[in-house]
């Protein structure tokens, strides 16, 4: 009798443990911040970020800017209000003056995951406007930080 009782208890405990565990919630990439569930994963389910990935060169005011855009999967996002994971665009860059001297280079820079200066990461897209929405952490001391709109 005791053996059957213990088997029932073990099965009941297993059932409770299995039903109480929640898998990580997957939400669409552009989920509104107030609707994001803590520790969820904002996944690029529609591959909205893929068309931005690549190496690009631009010229501006006599400077050459090389952008190296990659897609980073499941990047941890830690805000004061909630933590979650998100697929993002990560941009590294090299800026050269007219004579080819490097003014700024983040391509080969080792940047810790918690550092925001020298980083450019996306925080969403606007598919109807063909835009990627990015945050730039600025340079030394955070100078120049702000939002970037990258248009296809």
Q: Is residue 85 part of a domain?
A: yes
Q: How many CA atoms lie within 13 A of 60 on its CB side?
A: 7
What's the pTM value of the predicted model, to 2 decimals?
A: 0.79
Q: Is residue 12 part of a domain?
A: no
49 closest CA partner among 70, 77, 76: 70
Answer whether residue 88 shows pLDDT above 80: yes
Q: Is residue 13 part of a domain?
A: no
Q: Is residue 124 part of a domain?
A: yes
Instruction: Tell me the mean pLDDT in the region 72-87.
Output: 92
CA 106 to chain centre: 17
127 closest CA partner among 56, 68, 44, 62: 44
Top-confidence residue, 118 or 134: 134
Q: Is residue 8 part of a domain?
A: no
Q: Is residue 18 part of a domain?
A: no
Q: What is the dihedral of CA 103, 106, 111, 115, to 10 degrees?
A: 70
**Residue range(s) defining the domain that contains residue 54:** 23-151
Please provide the average confidence, as pLDDT, over all residues in the chain: 86
Report the number of secondary-structure helices (H) and strands (E) in the chain. 1, 9
Q: Report how many domains make up the chain.
A: 1
pLDDT of residue 140: 76
**Structure confidence at residue 13 as a pLDDT band (50, 70, 90):** low
């Amino acid at each position: 009798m005791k053996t059957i009782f213990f088997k029932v208890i073990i099965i009941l405990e297993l059932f409770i443990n299995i039903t109480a565990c929640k898998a990580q919630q997957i939400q669409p990439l552009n989920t509104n911040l107030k609707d994001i569930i803590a520790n969820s994963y904002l996944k690029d389910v529609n591959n909205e970020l893929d068309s931005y990935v690549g190496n690009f060169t631009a010229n501006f005011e006599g400077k050459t800017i090389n952008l190296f855009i990659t897609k980073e999967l499941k990047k941890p996002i830690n805000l004061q209000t909630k933590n979650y994971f998100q697929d993002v665009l990560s941009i590294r860059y090299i800026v050269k003056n007219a004579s080819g001297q490097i003014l700024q280079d983040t391509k080969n820079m080792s940047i810790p995951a918690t550092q925001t200066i020298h980083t450019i990461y996306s925080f969403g897209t606007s598919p109807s406007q063909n835009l990627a929405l990015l945050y730039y952490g600025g340079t030394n001391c955070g100078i120049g930080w702000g939002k970037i709109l990258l248009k296809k």
